[in-house]
Amino acid sequence: MVLGEDGRLLASSTVEHAPFGSPHAAWAEQDPEDWWRAAQGATRAAIAAAGVTGGDITSVGLSGQMHGAVLLDDRGTVLRPSIIWCDQRTDAECEWLNRVVGPERLLRLTLNPALTNFTLTKLLWVRTHEPEIWRRVRHVLLPKDYVRFRLSGEHAIDVADASGTLMLDVARRQWSDELLNAVDIDRRILPAVFESPAICARVTGDAATSTRLAPGTPIVAGAGDQAAGAIGMGITRPGAVSATIGTSGVVFAATDRPALDPRGRLHTFCHAIPGRWHVMGVTQAAGLSLRWLRDQWYGGAGAGASYDELTRAAAAAPAGADGVLWAPYLMGERTPHLDPHIRAALVGLGAHHSRAHLVRAVLEGVAFSLRDTFTIFSELRIPVERIRLGGGGARSLLWRQIQADVYGHAVETVRADEGAAFGAAVLAGVGARIWASVDDACDALVHTAERVMPDPSAVPIMNEQYARYRRVYPALKQLSSQKLEVRS
């Protein structure tokens, strides 16, 4: 993506990379070299489409998926495929952390609990299961930071992305030496930490040749996809909240203090704005739920129904889907259950239910799961004054209305929903001093496109259905804890 100095979008480009591999159940891995290939192609195409040269680019910003682990040797060679955010193999490592460090101490040091998604648990897994690789590790990077390394040769990370490693002292915005010592991780393998708008690297000559950027172009620290996406939606001050439905779903609130959920149900991370933090609840399979429904039940992409066709069909079903409930636990669940083993369920199906009821139940179930985070916000007195929607859940009129009805609150979309890439470009502009601050940039660039009010007739139905939804997880948990006995 290329922005002009007035914040106008000049051009953007997308290059697909290979889908993640899953060599074993619950594993998820990608080749970092494929990210670099896609980044080079997208950068060249965006510069060409914008009608500018590399010399016209004043600064580069980066964003990408969080929590991954890219392991490099002393020559900068990738040692194994990156274990990415949705990988669930590290349950034993989480248990080890809770025994050795303790859940209370973990919360005190990092403001977050031990979860299978976090980078630290992936490092512990490699140390235990692949010791010959671990002995060769000299640098650990997150996905977007590997792209920066290829652009610049520098090992750097921003405070927002570092928060998702479970190795950062989030309150102090620096690596936690106490935690690293407790788990015997050498701090020297971790990259230097910077605030998101800070210039931390410059494009090398080799990278300039392959990307068409100019040598020496500054690169800011950037941010992980959630913090950068929030910047792109103007979620910068307390009271501003976003609900984004991509593959996963995230409810994100900006705060002026490192708010802590003592039960560890929310993530507390540094924001991409110096001196601010954010709290975040995550639904593992949000947009993934609708994709699963399409691919497994309706013929898949290109062969069956499109997302638009599915949501149009769902509009024929009444609010509450005539009692059908979807628990979106295809990949386990993070907020509020912290349970990688729970699995999804459709509840309440009858012979009279149609495809419309089924699709609507999936849309509502994802919104109910996101509402769990708003419930925790209320418990912690985190203000919710404005809710902005992003991702695929913001593109469907029906899903926007469902979210307004489920949250019981007006929801908004923004005029330019370019996601994390736009936020990364804003951070680059702040680093180049085009804008004095992130707040100034967002005030100038981010504007409301549409506001959807809750339907007064639907809200009581959604409240009743949400109360029923909250009873599904305990029932599923009880079932999952009962071992199936096979008799011969």
> Interior CA angle at 338 toward 337 and 340, to 5°?
110
CB 288 within 8 A of CB 330: yes
Q: Is residue 308 annotated as part of the catalytic site, yes or no?
A: no
Q: Please give the structure tokens belonging to residue 86.
A: 């949705």
Distance CA 238, CA 458 (A): 29
Distance CA 219, CA 207 (A): 12
275 burial class (0-12, 13-18, 19+ CB within 10 angstroms)?
Answer: exposed
**Which amino acid makes up residue 384?**
V
Query: In residues, how long is the chain?
Result: 488
Q: Please give the structure tokens belonging to residue 474.
A: 């305990």
Neighbours of 470 (CB within 10 A): 14
Q: Among the residues of 247-303, which ranges form H helices?
A: 287-297
- Identified catalytic residue from 87, 145, 158, 225: 225
CB 64 within 8 A of CB 144: yes
> Interior CA angle at 259 toward 257 and 263, to 5°?
170
Measured in whole angstroms, how far is the alpha carbon of residue 457 from the centre of its chain? 33
- Determine what percent of the chain falls in helix, strand and coil, rounding each to the nearest 5: 40, 20, 40
CB 121 within 8 A of CB 87: no
Q: Among the residues of 153-255, which ranges form H helices?
A: 159-163, 177-183, 205-211, 225-232
Q: Indicate which residues carry an active-site annotation.
A: 225
